[in-house]
Structure 1
Amino acid sequence: MVSLTAVQTHNATLKSLSSGLVAVFVGGTSGIGLYTAREFVRNTKAPHIYLIGRNQVEATRIIDELHELNPSSKLNFIKSDVSLLRNVDEVCKEIKEKENKVNLLFMTVGYLTLKGRDETEEGLDRKFSLHYYARMRFAQNLTPLLNSAANDMGPNARLARVVSVLDPQLGLKLVPNFSDLSLKNSFSLKNCGIHASAMNNFALEHLGNMHSNISFIHAFPSGVNTGAARGMGQVWLNVLKVATVLLKPFMVDPTESGERHLFASTAPRFAPKAKGDGMDELATGSDGKSGSGAYFVSWNGEVFGESKKMESMRNNGAREKIWEHTEEVFRKICKGKDKY
């Protein structure tokens, strides 16, 4: 476990970077996205933050709070339902028109539900889209700006990172249905969890190999009060409130969660593949190799590393199959303007 003191000491060093770091928080108006954005603003000089979400009222309140925390910060809210991939493209287009680099893409977007398959107008399940497809579309669209940040010769040169907060563990233990990766015919909440986990794992590993100047992290949040259950109805909200009180001793404090996720988003130990040579204390990557550019990081700063199940899937072409499927979905929906 990385001590909280070590985390805070590292985070304080971010002020030594040059001003104007650009960070995009997808799902940044609540929960871990908000907690991490708050710490990013607190610990950097004149950052430029993009918050992506649907709640304009809450975003306005958050922007006021963050600007008070750091008056030199520049804050933008983009209102969008990013369960639709074509909306993701519009958001990324807006960011590209305003920025020439992005240092951090931090994604927590998603929600809890007890409903079955809830298909969007694009033919994807809404929850699955938020937990996987939308995140990978953001990553794909913004890699040019992330590469630009990675090639910056100034003191920000090493900060180009993509973080998807979900759960890498299921995908280290369980095998998705490769004959129905989109879960069109075999959707269940359990299968959605398995697929989102495994597909995040392999897609981020693929992107880490394709873009060796950028780090890609799949982070496990542990128990944090995020507000992700707000759409489940009042009865279940009341149940969860009671459970939260009972489980409080085992949950991570929101401020600590933000501090630890900022550490995962910026610590040199999670270096990109091309920049790890000669660095001390590099973390073990998703493929079991030190500094491989893709990392599965637990809430406490330690890595999960490789698993035999994932190695077996990788040897059977899982990474290629998942990314080929992902690109097929993107082509049909985003290029062909079709329904998947």
Structure 2
Amino acid sequence: MVSLTEIRTHNATLKSLSSGLVAIFVGGTSGIGLSTAREFVRNTNSPHVYLVGRNQAEATRIIGELREINPTSQLDFIKSDVSLLKNVDEACRQIKEKEQKVNLLFMTVGYVTFQGRDETEEGLDRKFAVHYYARIRFLQNLSPLLTAGANSPDPTLTLSRAVSVLDPKIGRAGRPNFSDLSLKDNFTLRNCATHASAMNNFALEHFAQTYPGTSFVHAYPSIVGTGAMRGLGTAWTAAWKVGGMLLKPFMVDLGESGERHLFAATAPRYAPRARAERVEDVAKGGDDVKGSGSYQLNWDGETLPDSKTAATLRAEDAEKRIWTHTEEVFKKVCEESGKY
């Protein structure tokens, strides 16, 4: 476990960096995304932070709060329902109009449901879309700006990292259905969790190879009281209150989660592949290679070793097969404005 003392010591060092880090928080108006955005604003000099979410009123309140934490911060809200890839493209267009570089892309956007497949107008399940396709589309669109961040002439501003907070563990234990990766015909919540997890894992490995100046993290947050169950109605909210009391000894405090995720988003040990040799304590990637540039983290900041299932999938060209499918979806939906 990476201790909170070590985490807080590292996070405090971010104040020694030059001003002007640019961070995008997709899902940044609630839960872990907001908690991490708070810590980022608190610990950096004159950052420019974009919050991408759906609730304008809540975003206005949050921006006021963050401005009180750091009056030198520049804060923008992009209202967007990112379950639709066309909206992801529009959000990225707005960012690219204003920015020459991005230092951090932090993605926590989620969709809590216990129902079956909920297909969007683009032909994708809504939950699966926000847990995988939207996140990877943000990455694809913004990777050139992340590369520009890595190449900053100021050596203190070369942070270039993308973090997807979901769960790398499920996809390390289960096999995706390669004949139906989008789960058009085989959707269950369990299958959706397995596919989103495994596809995040392998897509981030693909990006680490393609963009060696940027590091990529898939992080498991553990059980965190984020308030995500509120939208499910009175019965589920009441059930969660009871369950939450029983789980409290095993839960991670939301404030601590923000501190830990800021560490995951900025610590040198999770270095880009191109810079890994310069870092003495560089972590092992999801493929057990030190400094691979793609890291799968447990809630406590420790990297997860490669699993037997994941190693087998890797040998079966899972990365290539998943990426080929992802490009097919993006071509159909984003380039042809079609339905997958």
TM-score normalised to structure 2 length:
0.99
Cα distance in 2 between the residues matched to 1:270 and 1:140 = 20
The AA in structure 2 aligned to 1:125 is D
Distance in 2 (alpha carbons) for counterparts of 1:43 and 1:219: 21
Matches of 1:228 and 1:39 in 2, distance apart?
20
Partner of 2:207: 207
Corresponding position of 1:65: 65
Matches within 5 A, 1:85-124: 85-124=85-124
SS of structure 1 residue aligned to 2:231: coil
Answer yes or no: is 1:271 the counterpart of 2:271: yes
Q: Does 1:37 align with 2:43?
A: no
Partner of 1:162: 162
Residue number in structure 2 paired with 1:285? 285
* 8 A contact 2:163–2:218 mirrored in 1: yes
SS of structure 2 residue aligned to 1:82: coil
Provide the rounded CA distance (Å) in 1 between the counterparts of 2:45 and 2:157. 16
Deviates more, 1:83-92 or 1:275-284: 275-284
Secondary structure at the aligned position of 2:278 is classed as coil
- What value does the CA root-mean-square deviation take over the aligned residues? 0.8
SS across alignment from 1:181: coil
Which residue in 2 is equivalent to 1:82? 82
- Paired positions, count: 340
Post-superposition CA distance 1:280-302 (Å, at most 9, x none): 00100111110000000111110
* Contact 2:23-2:102 within 8 A present in 1 as well: yes
Please, which moves more after superposition, 244-253 or 138-147? 244-253
Q: Check the 8 A contact 2:271/2:293 in 1, yes or no.
A: yes
SS in structure 1 at match of 2:51: strand
Deviations 1:80-113 (A, max 9, x none): 1000001000000000000001000000001221
Q: What one-letter code is carried by the residue in structure 1 that aligns with 2:274?
A: A
Corresponding residue number in structure 1 for 2:229 = 229
Moved more, 25-34 or 220-229: 220-229
Deviations 1:169-221 (A, max 9, x none): 01111101000000000000000000000000000011011100000000000
> Could you tell me which amino acid in structure 2 is paired with residue 191 of structure 1?
N
Shift of 1:157: 4.4
CA contact (8 A) 2:213 2:274 kept: yes
Q: CA offset at residue 308 of structure 1? A: 1.5
Deviations for 1:24-74, whole angstroms, at most 9, x for unmatched residues?
000000000000000000000000000000011111110000000000000
TM-score, normalised on structure 1? Answer: 0.99
Matching residue of 1:144:
144
Give, as a single letter, the amino acid of the residue that structure 1 aligns with 2:79: K
Q: Secondary structure at the match of 2:76?
A: strand
Distance 1:330 1:229 in 2: 30
Deviation of the 1:151 alpha carbon: 0.6
Is 1:178 the counterpart of 2:167? The answer is no
Identity across the alignment (%): 65
**Separation (CA, whole Å) in 2 of partners of 1:71 and 1:174:** 46
Alignment of 1:10-25 (within 5 A): 10-25=10-25
Q: Distance in 1 between matches of 2:249 and 2:190?
A: 27
The answer to whether the 8 Å contact 1:29/1:58 transfers is yes
SS class of match (1:192): helix
- 3-state DSSP class of the match of 1:302? coil
| Whole-angstrom distance in 2 between the partners of 1:336 and 1:231 | 34
SS of residue in 2 equivalent to 1:195: helix
Structure 2 unaligned segments of length 5 or more: list them.
none
Letter of the structure 1 residue corresponding to residue 85 of structure 2? L
Partner of 2:197: 197
Task: Find the aligned partners of 2:22 and 2:157 in 1 and give their Cα distance.
Answer: 13
